[in-house]
Structure 1
Amino acid sequence: MTTGKGIIAEIGLLAYPDAQLAAVYGLTDLFRIAGEQSRASGEPDAAVIRVSHWRQAADGAGVECAYDSHPGSPHKPSHLIAPPSLIMPDKMQPMRGFVSWMTERHAAGTTLCSVCAGAFLLGETGLLAGREATTHWAFAEALAQRFPAIRVDTGRMVIDDGDIITAGGILAWTDLGLTLVERLLGPSVMLETARFLLIDPPGRTQLPYSHFVQKLDHGDAAILRVQHWLQATLGKDHGVPALAARAGLEERTFLRRFRKATGLRPTEYAQQVRIAKAREALELSRRPVAQIAWEVGYGDASAFRKLFQRVTGLAPADYRRRFGVAG
């Protein structure tokens, strides 16, 4: 629905304290360029997107407009975007004004969006409960702990749930921006905008960029001893009986405590250790994939390739082409 002459919709960007200004202004530019690409089609009534920036009012109880690309008509954002934060999520200050405003706008039909740590601001509304949502892979555990009702999935860069859209990494604002351009201005304008900006269209995954982060501060000395052994041996012997004996625990107790401490089953943990080592070898060497598979404990190179692609989203050869730094 057009909100003014040639304006298809208004997108509001939340310039909250410590928000990443590169995302705020980058999205502003992206939507402007999309409008120019729309006009370039030659249509007399080619649609453009109105962009507004919103900041917290001085009293902290509300929000106010700080920028408007098409001033004059009343504001009615069809989409609101919470951009990434420049500080860690646990350091983000309470933003009651934004939270209540976002909740009110959503009830009036506005689609709420977030990028990276912006999901924590969106989570404060309670509207993500029971839904799938994504954030930066490094913040996934913190988001799940703070908002247990959210089904966190960092395998995807963008999760479009209709009235709520979440995007993953710090620079995933480009993916979200193009997703909204496609929704509002159509796939042709989206593709022309992506070509002009030399960025990939939406559809990427976070898997190639994430890496295995071991939990070592859980305080369970018996499990930590097993983790150190798995790391030192690349998990080549990850049978539960042997690991339980090394921990000095009964098997069922070991499995329960291992899962609680690491978030993974022993087999999954050993796989992550091996794949992490394989990634390093693919990045830093030109050794054949079959040799790397053998070095990290897989005698069947075909099975290794399938597992590697499942964990990283890329085949080993494709991973090396993208991330390899060896001459």
Structure 2
Amino acid sequence: MASDHPSTVRVGILVFPGCVRSAAVVPHDVFELANRVQSARPVRGRVAFDAVWVSARPGRSIEIDGLRFAVSPANVAQLDALIVPGVEHADAQSLSTVLAALAPEQSLLRKAARNGLHILAGCSATCLVAQSGLLDGRRATTSWWLAGFCRSHFPLVALQPEEILLQDGPFVSAAGLTSYFDLALWLVGRRAGADLRQLIARMLLLEQRSIGQTPYATTAALPGHGPVVMERAQRWLVAHVDKPWTVAALAQHCHTSERTLLRRFNEVLGCSPVKYMQQLRVDRAKRLLESTLISLEDVATRCGYQDVATLQRVFRKLAGVPLGEYRVRFGIRR
């Protein structure tokens, strides 16, 4: 006999010192909206999302930069899913220190995994789940600018940073901070159906981001890091992004051999100088497509290419979409 009460999905949103506040609030608001939208539905067809802030630490509240969360003890036996907010940190290099201080949260994550909960994490929270050892041998994604950190610190994770949302077994990982909308909507869709998920997405003005993270990435434009020779090389390449160049000329400028330069690039950036320059030129093309209405021929010239066809080939490979489609999606309106 069907129940006269809605089925309930119990969701814990893990709050901890230094977590990203919006990542703890956004899923809660999405689930509240899902509950309100269903209020007109027959009781037997409803799925109630009972979202609560939980903690792995003692105490009834946690304050994060002036925002106080009333938390309950994280009893995984009473939950169906656990959402892990991102981890605040100054930069990628300091993230490992922050993660090491979150031992109680890592212990809770391992317990949640043993109890079969869905564990949802986005952005730097993927690193926290990986630090717990739960993603070894599994596919996962994170924000594109953390890909290098993840690969160097968690080599056993099958990282796919081009994806915005990725499920592998009970683990669901997502990209940047706004992907916490995607994580909450994923759970709504899984437990209450695709129709409700799509309705909530429309109400939140969220589109289906099927093209992944690649068009958003500007990895080559991140601040220089690594040995002095690398910072010198990166600055020189930025200055020559619209000019002819050679690896030999770059090595000469850096007062090193081509062989040493290639090794340094591979160690620090995981790519060759040629590939790095391609990334720089694609980054410039993105900015031009976003902010100007100049012709594609002019875009190619300003990016150091003699013809549009060559730029188109490189752009589609690195950005994941053609030049024209990128301009339509991200460019200014005529």
TMscore range, shorter length: 0.7 to 0.9
State the Cα distance separating 1:149 from its structure 2 match.
2.1
Q: Distance in 1 between matches of 2:328 and 2:140?
A: 30
Q: Does 1:50 align with 2:50?
A: yes
Instruction: Tell me, in whole angstroms, the C-alpha distance in 2 between the residues paired with 1:147 and 1:234.
Output: 33
Deviation at 1:296? 1.4
Do 1:175 and 1:202's aligned partners in 2 also have CA atoms closer than 8 Å? no
CA distance in 2, matches of 1:191, 1:306: 34
Tell me the TM-score normalised to structure 2 length.
Answer: 0.82
Say whether 1:78 aligns with 2:80: yes
The yes-or-no answer on 1:23 pairing with 2:23 is yes
Q: Matches of 2:153 and 2:137 in 1, distance apart?
A: 14
Give the residue type in structure 1 aligned to 2:306.
G
Q: Percent identity?
A: 26
How far does the alpha carbon of each residue in 1:172-206 deviate from its partner, in whole angstroms, 9 at most, with x for none? 10111111111111111111111122212463522
Cα gap change, 1:307/1:40 in structure 2, threshold over 3 Å: closer, same or farther?
farther
Match status 1:66 vs 2:74: no
Q: Structure 2: 5+ residue runs without aligned partners?
A: 60-69
Q: Residues 31 and 67 (structure 1 numbering): CA distance in 2 closer, same or farther, change over 3 Å?
A: farther
Contact 1:215 1:262 in 2 (8 A): no
Q: Is residue 150 of structure 1 aligned with residue 157 of structure 2?
A: yes
Contact residue 4 and residue 43 of structure 2 kept, 8 A: no
**Alpha carbons of structure 1 residues 295 and 45: separation in structure 2 relative to 1, 3 Å:** closer
RMSD: 3.2
Secondary structure at the aligned position of 2:49 is classed as strand
Give the equivalent residue in structure 1 for 2:64: none
Structure 2 counterpart of 1:27, one-letter code: P
Taking structure 1 as the reference length, the TM-score comes to 0.84
User: Which deviations, in whole Å up to 9, do the C-alpha atoms of 1:6-39 show, x marking residues without a partner?
Assistant: 2242221101112223222221121122233345
Distance 2:217 2:3 in 1: 40
Distance between the aligned counterparts of 1:138 and 1:275, measured in 2? 16
Correspondences of 1:1-327 after superposition (within 5 Å)? 5-42=5-42, 44-58=44-58, 66=71, 76-88=78-90, 89-90=95-96, 92=98, 94-201=101-208, 203=210, 205-211=212-218, 212-214=220-222, 216-221=224-229, 223-234=230-241, 236-244=243-251, 247=254, 249-325=256-332
CA contact (8 A) 2:6 2:43 kept: no
Task: Write the letter of the residue equivalent to 1:217.
Answer: H
> Which is helix-richer, 1 or 2?
2
User: Does the C-alpha gap of structure 1 residues 261 and 220 become closer, same or farther in structure 2, counting only changes over 3 Å?
Assistant: farther
Count the aligned residue pairs: 318
Distance 1:3 1:238 in 2: 72
Q: Determine if contact 1:8/1:48 at 8 Å carries over to the other structure.
A: yes
The verdict on how the C-alpha distance between 1:305 and 1:40 changes in structure 2, with shifts beyond 3 A counting, is farther
Opposite residue 78 of structure 1, the aligned amino acid is D
Residues 305, 316 of structure 1: 8 Å contact kept:
yes
Q: Any conservation in 2 of the 1:191–1:201 contact (CA below 8 Å)?
A: no
Task: Kindly indicate whether the alpha-carbon contact (under 8 Å) linking 2:244 and 2:304 is maintained by their aligned counterparts in 1.
Answer: no
Q: What do residues 208-256 of structure 1 show as CA deviations (whole Å, max 9, x unaligned)?
A: 22212356332253x5544333222217445445545555555444422
Secondary structure of residue in 2 paired with 1:208 = helix
Cα distance change on mapping 1:35 and 1:202 into 2, 3 Å: farther
